[in-house]
């Protein structure tokens, strides 16, 4: 299994990377950690004439705090998020991604831009109302997570645009957080997963692995904030779910598992808030 | 083709590689270090695990051109210069942590990095660390014991 031939570019600056993407358009693909892209290339599910490797672009890496926001550079390794204490949902989601060897290479921006419907970070971003900075050679814009994920492996980013940073709101004290998922084996993609955050004055809930994008459970958030029992919040969250049958689980199984992970996440997040 | 300069198991080498050549194929074919095994070639089985600048990674999910300027350590680089087994390798032998041996290089490299970062692991931490490597022979119990032995001897 080898990727089809491609031309390899290793820009040293963000400007050079964006210039290459502008020059080659949809014939080019940005290479971040490569933990999803390289298998896809190796299995010949896709091919690109040009790969733009971002691993030598230092100004895409690193984590900074801007007032109430944690700004995570796109090329920050997932492993570093295990210590992102300002955003506990990132700390809790990260160990669920693959295995530690994968997280040593995998990046935050790569996972978000890849937009696998069963991956954790997109659901965390959606629950927290995170925003993404997209840049091209000539433009920059800020897109809300709610407007970014359009479908399986499909986002609002144009071929010449790069997700350069993700901006995660920092919640205050007295908050509680949980990420719960069910997978066949540890490290596999989730069959169903839930992200939950609770605070005295707000609540957030999202699901992943149950549709072509992560889903925000707005109605269930009302019940969550009102203090409804976990099973009631879960019932509200899965009310309109209609996942397709696939090789991993039937639609009915997925709905049942979604109910289970929401109830567990609500319980854990409330315990976390009290702790 | 791309010219790269890389330190493999302590030896600095200059090579010319095709952009699509994986790091795993590079160490096996270009460096003749066939201890790194390829099982699935898409990042699931862990057999090809090597250290790049000290971090355990899947060699099938990196391209050789990406390690230009880096240090790569394969299973051949873990033992002593006289062929002596490393503490992790010795523990695998002592605890029957291998049977057919195909997956073993990936486990040994993984455990070497894990014990460096987590010198006194709990059994839960050990099982978590091993979860990214697949073994079809041993049933894993001997491997867990090998990690415990290696950790105990190091501490």
pTM for the structure as a whole: 0.95
CB within 8 Å of A252: residues ≥ 6 apart: none
- SS3 for B115? helix
pLDDT at position B153 over 80: no
The pair of three-digit structure tokens given for residue B52, joined into one six-digit string? 């790049």
B20, A186: Cβ pair inside 8 Å? Answer: no
B63 touching chain A per CB within 8 A:
yes
pLDDT at position B154 over 70: no
Q: What is the pLDDT of residues B92-145, one digit of tens each?
A: 999 999 999 999 999 999 999 999 999 999 999 999 999 999 999 999 999 999
Residues in chain A: 275
When pLDDT is cut at 50, 70 and 90, the band that residue A188 belongs to is confident
Q: What is the pLDDT of residues A129-144, one digit of tens each?
A: 999 999 999 999 999 9
When pLDDT is cut at 50, 70 and 90, the band that residue A5 belongs to is very high
Task: Give, to the nearest 10 degrees, the angle between helix B104-117 and helix B141-154.
Answer: 40
Give me the residue label for tokens 């210590």. A83
pLDDT at position A173 over 70: yes
d(CA A135, CA A157): 9
Q: What is the pLDDT of residues A15-35, one digit of tens each?
A: 999 999 999 999 999 999 999
Mean pLDDT of the region A250-266: 98
CB A148 within 8 A of CB A155: yes
Please name the residue of chain B whose CA is at the shortest distance from the CA of residue A3: B20
Which helix (H) or strand (E) element contains residue B72? strand B71-73
B66 touching chain A per CB within 8 A:
yes
* ipTM of the complex in this document: 0.95
pLDDT at position B155 over 90: no
pLDDT of residue A66: 94
When pLDDT is cut at 50, 70 and 90, the band that residue A181 belongs to is very high
Nearest CA to B76 out of B116, B114, B28 is that of B28
Collect all residues of chain A within an 8 Å Cβ-Cβ radius of residue B60: 38, 42
B43, A39: Cβ pair inside 8 Å? Answer: yes
Collect all residues of chain B within an 8 Å Cβ-Cβ radius of residue A100: 56, 114, 129, 132
Which helix (H) or strand (E) element contains residue B51? strand B49-52
CB A50 within 8 A of CB A160: no
Nearest CA to B70 out of B3, B142, B4 is that of B4
Please name the residue of chain B whose CA is at the shortest distance from the CA of residue A9: B19
Average pLDDT over all residues of chain B: 96
CB A182 within 8 A of CB A261: yes
Please name the residue of chain A whose CA is at the shortest distance from the CA of residue B51: A101
Q: What is the pLDDT of residues A204-230, one digit of tens each?
A: 999 999 999 999 999 999 999 999 999
Indicate the residue of B19, B62, B132 with minimum beta-carbon distance to A6. B19
pLDDT at position A1 over 80: no
A188 touching chain B per CB within 8 A:
no
A101, B114: Cβ pair inside 8 Å? Answer: no
When pLDDT is cut at 50, 70 and 90, the band that residue A240 belongs to is very high
B12 touching chain A per CB within 8 A:
no
DSSP per-residue codes, chain A: --PPP-EEE--SSHHHHHHHHHHHGGGEEEESS-TTHHHHHHTTS---SEEEE-TT-GGG--EEEETTEEEEETT-BGGGGGG-TTSHHHHHHGGGSS-HHHHHH-BHHHHHHHT-TT-HHHHHHHHTT-EEEEE-SS-EEEEEHHHHEEETTEES--TT-EEEEEEEEPP-TT-EEEEEEE-SSTTSPPSEEEEEEEETTEEEEEEESSSSS-EE-HHHHHHHHTT--HHHHHHHHHTT--PPP-SS--HHHHHHHHHHHHHHHHHHHHHHHH-
């Amino acid at each position: 299994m080898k990727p089809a031939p491609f031309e390899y570019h290793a820009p040293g600056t963000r400007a050079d990377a964006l210039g290459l993407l502008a020059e080659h358009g949809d014939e080019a693909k940005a290479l971040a950690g490569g933990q999803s892209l390289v298998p896809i290339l190796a299995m010949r599910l896709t091919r690109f004439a040009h790969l733009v490797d971002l691993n030598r672009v230092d100004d895409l890496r690193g984590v900074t705090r801007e007032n109430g926001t944690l700004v995570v550079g796109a090329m920050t390794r997932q492993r570093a998020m295990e210590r992102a204490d300002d955003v506990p949902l990132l700390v809790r989601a990260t160990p669920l991604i693959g295995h530690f060897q994968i997280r040593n290479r995998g990046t935050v921006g790569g996972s978000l831009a890849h937009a696998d419907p069963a991956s954790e970070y997109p659901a965390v971003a959606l629950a927290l109302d995170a925003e993404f900075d997209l840049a091209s050679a000539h433009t920059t814009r800020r897109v809300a997570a709610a407007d970014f994920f359009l479908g399986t492996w499909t986002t609002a980013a144009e071929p010449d645009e790069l997700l350069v940073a993700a901006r995660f709101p920092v919640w205050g004290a007295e908050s509680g957080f949980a990420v719960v998922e069910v997978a066949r084996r540890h490290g596999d993609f989730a069959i169903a997963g839930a992200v939950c955050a609770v605070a005295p004055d707000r609540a957030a809930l999202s699901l992943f692995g149950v549709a072509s994008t992560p889903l925000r459970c707005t109605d269930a958030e009302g019940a969550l904030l009102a203090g409804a029992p976990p099973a009631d919040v879960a019932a509200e969250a899965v009310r309109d779910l209609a996942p397709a049958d696939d090789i991993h689980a039937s639609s009915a199984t997925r709905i049942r598992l979604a109910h289970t992970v929401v109830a567990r996440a609500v319980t854990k997040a409330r315990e976390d808030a009290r702790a | 083709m791309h010219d790269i300069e890389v330190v493999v198991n302590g030896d600095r080498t200059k090579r010319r590689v095709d952009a699509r050549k994986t790091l795993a194929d590079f160490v096996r074919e270009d460096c003749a270090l066939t201890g790194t095994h390829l099982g699935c070639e898409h990042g699931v089985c862990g057999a090809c695990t090597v250290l790049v600048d000290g971090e355990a990674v899947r060699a099938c999910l990196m391209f050789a051109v990406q390690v230009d300027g880096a240090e790569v350590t394969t299973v051949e680089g873990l033992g002593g210069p006289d062929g002596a087994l490393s503490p992790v390798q010795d523990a695998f032998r002592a605890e029957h942590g291998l049977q057919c041996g195909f997956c073993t290089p990936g486990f040994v490299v993984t455990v070497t990095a894990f014990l460096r970062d987590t010198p006194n692991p709990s059994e839960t931490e050990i099982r978590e660390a091993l979860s990214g490597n697949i073994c079809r022979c041993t049933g894993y119990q001997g491997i867990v014991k090998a990690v415990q032995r290696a950790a105990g001897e190091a501490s």
